[in-house]
Structure 1
Amino acid sequence: MARTSFLRATLFLQTGAVLLQACTAGLLLSSRLAYEVHDAGSKVMYGATLLYLTAAVLAWRTGGASPRHVRYALGFLVLVSAQVVTGVLHVPGVHVPLGAVIFGLSLLTLFRENFQSVRHV
């Protein structure tokens, strides 16, 4: 139970970091300080994704969770890596829609995880 709680917490952290990135991206249009915040937020988002992957692997390998969490976390890592690359290369035509996809998938995964745990209680 503690393993899945940690897994859920890391997924919540990842979703929150992606939401923060979306907010700071909007501020880029009006503030110079937003660039530094968005840049720092990208590092937090990447770290949160790595933490989610670590939690998924630990929960799976110790027998407490399904391996699908590892697949989801690896998928997020690939998407977030592409997001960072497109941001560094200043390709907003890919960066912005990819950010929306990452946020939507992260939210969907978070809700799915919470509703599945409610159904199994």
Structure 2
Amino acid sequence: MATQVTVTAQRGSTFLRIAIALQTLTIFLQAVSAGLLLTASYGEVLHSAGARVMYGASMLYLLAAVLAWKPGGGSPRPVRHATGFLVLASVQVVLGIAHVPSLHLPLGVLMFGLSVLALARR
């Protein structure tokens, strides 16, 4: 019985690490596509598609945090972090749609830093 709980916790932790890494990568790619937005004609399409992928990665991070917590018996702290990050991602999307770069860009930098920090802590 104890072995099964340990294996479940390890799987949840691995899935959580992968989800955070994917989120970090998608945020980094959003920064790259933001540069292309300013210099290339296809930049807007790429940045818009990347926003959807980044938001999906944030939802995957929350799902992974819940799965690592509830069935695996882990800490609820990653769930709070993932929920906060999904809120930040939602604000980021709204600011991007509203074309408010004075808040959109610094929030993107903050999100990347927080995501790297979360990845380093796992």
Indicate if the aligned counterparts of 2:12 and 2:72 stay in contact, CA closer than 8 A.
no
For 1:22 and 1:70, the matched residues in 2 are separated by: 26
Residues 1:27 and 2:36 are matched in the alignment: yes
For 1:53 and 1:4, the matched residues in 2 are separated by: 13
Structure 2 match to 1:16: 25
Indicate if the aligned counterparts of 1:4 and 1:64 stay in contact, CA closer than 8 A.
no
- Give the 5 Å matches for 1:31-70: 31-70=40-79
Report the structure number with the largest CA radius of gyration: 2
Identical pairs, percent: 56
For 1:64 and 1:10, the matched residues in 2 are separated by: 18
Q: Unaligned 5+ residue runs, structure 1? A: 114-121
For 2:43 and 2:73, the matched residues in 1 are separated by: 40
For 2:74 and 2:109, the matched residues in 1 are separated by: 28
TM-score by length of 2: 0.90
What RMSD, in angstroms, separates the aligned Cα atoms of the two structures? 0.7
Q: How many residues align?
A: 113
SS of 1:66's equivalent in the other structure is coil
Task: Extract structure 1 runs of 4+ deviating beyond 6 A.
Answer: none
TM-score by length of 1: 0.91
